[in-house]
Amino acid sequence: MMLRLTLLTLLALGVIDDEIVHRGPGFSITYPKKNSKLQPPSAAVPFQLEYRKNSLLRLETERLMQPIDLSDETFADIFREVQLERLRERVGTPLESDRVRRFSWGVGVEFHYYLPARNGKKNRRDRVTEVVTTVDETLYRFTYWIPERDLKRVAAPFAQIVESFSPDRAIAEATASSETAESEAPLVGYSAARSDANAEAYRREIEEQVQDKLARAELYAELAETLGWKGYLTESPSPAELEEMHRAAEAALNDAPSDVDAHQARAWTAYHENRMVEMEEEIKKAIAIEPDNAENHLLYALWYGFNPERSEAMARLALDVDPGYAAAYYVKAAADRRSGDLVEARQALEEAVKLDPGFTEAHLQLAEVLGESGDARGALDAYRAAAAAAPNDANVSFRFARALRRAGRIDESITEYQALLRLEPSLAEVHYNLAVLFLQERQAPDLAREHFRRFVELDPESARAPRVREWLSANDSR
């Protein structure tokens, strides 16, 4: 049975306006839809819940020397003192509170304290909650961080998750499902598809935050940055997206002129509008506010697109600040590839997809790099990973089908093309490629004729259309 952490009570009370259910290996979890997402099951812990860009909820385990029963008050008090001492060794900040309390799943020790914000912003704090409990010989530490400014908005849902949690069952089921964890990894992080979903979430949340100036500014900045990143991945944003990006960046700066995110948002806009002088000015302003902000260095890596060596160096700076920044690995790989260093590009892209298995574009770039390096099998595996990460992406499926044909896997290529046509029946190029495969590889002119006819119907002005018409005329079955 899967563990279900439900927030229906909060929904009924109107605390949360929307919800989303994520099913991972051995558990499912219901939580606010507000830009939250789960890290892939490949993480070293059963799950991590994120709110915006910060990991906010984590579960860790530790093997004890002997069973500890916290239902015994004496043991519980001793356990609290031991955990308090350990906490003091790790955290040099005063406690807001510590207590032994009973949850729905048993007895635990709960600590509250404040730390500098995990997003690196100055003059901001996160309230940290640690809940520690034991089941037999296993210790479970449940930690969640909530930005102080968001306490009223998200504290209740996170508390409800902990209250509903069943540590022993979740760990057992996650361990039992570890063999299938990779295949169940959700699309998260930096793909263009994820950017679309995030942008839509930011638009909805902006409408809900009209009375909160600072929160609204941050959301506008996040929207602009998300559209900017998508534009980079897809090589250029649409006119409508560029206009929305520009408006969002200006709104963020208007509401919060000293906020680093607002200047980064304007830098993204200037990048896509090819105003490189203004882009550098905004990056410098952002660095003056937060020198150790990884996205500042990432933006500089983009600014140095004309100089692969400098671009790669700036991407490295971003990774020095945040070694888990998959986007920086992707940008670094692009610079490595432009400078002809396919070994470094491959290593960077492999790290990017390891950090974010749903990073479709990184899988595709890795496939191209492997192909250029002569590793045909590795390239095909990377295309397959991209197709698995984005099963409804016509472009990914098309490239995968072409790669299968190049590898001589004709039946698989035909199957992939046919699946793509079920998804998008009006893709002329797919009909053409299928016709060629049936004609040249399967000697099936009747099947080829069907797809050649659809090709000229869908793309009558193609340079290949006259030759196809000649073939159809010469091979008319009537």
The predicted structure's pLDDT at residue 111: 92
Give dist(CA 374, CA 416) in Å, integer. 23
Q: What fold characterizes domain 192-291?
A: 1.25.40
The predicted structure's pLDDT at residue 161: 63
Give dist(CA 215, CA 208) in Å, integer. 10
Cα atoms in the 13 Å half-sphere on the side-chain side of 203: 12
The predicted structure's pLDDT at residue 243: 96
The predicted structure's pLDDT at residue 121: 65
User: 66-90: string of b/e by CB count within 10 Å (b at 16+)?
Assistant: eebebeeeeebeebbeebeeebeee
Task: Of 284, 9, 265, 291, give the one whose Cα is nearest residue 122.
Answer: 291
Q: For residues 95 and 80, is the Cβ–Cβ distance under 8 A? A: no
3-state secondary structure 123-184: CCEEEEEEEEEEECCEEEEEEEEEEHHHHHHHHHHHHHHHHHCCHHHHHHHHHHCHHHCHHH
Q: Does domain 3-179 have CATH number 3.40.1000.10?
A: yes
pLDDT in tens, the chain (478 residues): 222 333 222 222 233 334 444 443 333 444 443 333 333 333 333 334 444 444 466 767 788 888 888 888 888 888 999 999 989 888 888 888 888 888 767 788 999 999 887 666 666 788 888 988 888 888 888 888 887 776 765 666 566 666 655 565 444 443 433 333 333 322 335 788 878 877 887 887 777 655 667 778 888 998 999 999 999 998 888 999 999 999 999 999 998 899 899 999 999 999 999 999 999 999 999 999 888 888 999 999 999 999 999 999 999 999 988 887 889 999 999 999 999 999 999 999 999 988 888 889 999 999 999 999 999 889 999 998 888 888 888 888 898 889 888 888 899 889 888 888 888 889 889 889 998 898 888 888 889 889 999 988 999 998 988 998 988 888 875 5
The predicted structure's pLDDT at residue 224: 94
The predicted structure's pLDDT at residue 122: 62
Looking at the chain, how many residues does it have?
Answer: 478
Pairing of strands 36-38, 48-51: antiparallel
User: 200-210: string of b/e by CB count within 10 Å (b at 16+)?
Assistant: ebbeebbeebe
Each domain of the chain, given as residue ranges in start order, spans 3-179, 192-291, 426-478
Q: For residues 407 and 380, is the Cβ–Cβ distance under 8 A? A: yes
Task: Of 120, 359, 347, give the one whose Cα is nearest residue 229.
Answer: 359
Task: Of 124, 123, 131, 118, give the one whose Cα is nearest residue 51.
Answer: 118
Give dist(CA 215, CA 202) in Å, integer. 11
Q: For residues 163 and 104, is the Cβ–Cβ distance under 8 A? A: yes
